[in-house]
Amino acid sequence: MQPDQSPEPVDLDGGGLRLRPWRADDLDDAWTAFQDEQMRRWGGLAVDSREDAAAWLGRRLEPAPDRLHWAVVDPGTGALAGSVGFSFLDPVEGLAMVGYWTAPASRGRGLAPLAVDTACRHLFATTAVDRVELFHAIANAASGRVAEKAGFTWEGRLRRSHRYDGVKLDQFLWARLADDPPPALSSRS
């Protein structure tokens, strides 16, 4: 991919889930997910109204050279199960930052690590990115489990590095390199 080209989300099969481009008709399901207490606490998203949700979705519908996002859906029902995507995507530096969330009804099934792994494998195969970083609040242990299961290596602690619910908290930094061994869950897809 040339540095001036915008990456485009394509349909991806993650073995038990599907990643597809976001659509305008995802607004109601996304808005419902944003009502969840855990999403509000750890998501770092300022989505306090349907208008905020529409703006959030609008950013995912617009192609941009520095981001790439997918809706994570159940392949059988098409129900929205979550989101995965990259921001700060910089093919020149070979770097991207991954973010994700899982809708409350879809938690506990291992979908987040599978979605993150599927998206990373696609990014590594189709762009010049060779390092993906993942950050999460230290108190959000579930995100640490996602990082580990998706093949990321813990690299360190960032002190007071991000605001959650108006309070700056420490975060853990994880990274996955294009030539790291694939996580065990990759064999399922």
Nearest to 142 by CA among 25, 39, 11, 45: 39
C-alpha–C-alpha distance, residues 60 and 44, integer Å: 16
For the chain, give every domain's residue range.
12-188
Each residue's pLDDT tens digit, 27-80: 999 999 988 888 777 776 668 889 999 999 999 999 899 999 999 999 889 999
Please name the residue that has the structure tokens 């597809």: 20
Each residue's pLDDT tens digit, 145-158: 999 999 999 999 98
CATH superfamily of 12-188: Gcn5-related N-acetyltransferase (GNAT) (3.40.630.30)
Evaluated on CA atoms 24, 25, 28, 30, the torsion sign reads: negative
Each residue's pLDDT tens digit, 68-111: 999 999 988 999 999 999 999 999 999 999 999 999 989 988 99
- For the cut 50, the answer to whether the pLDDT of residue 188 exceeds it is no
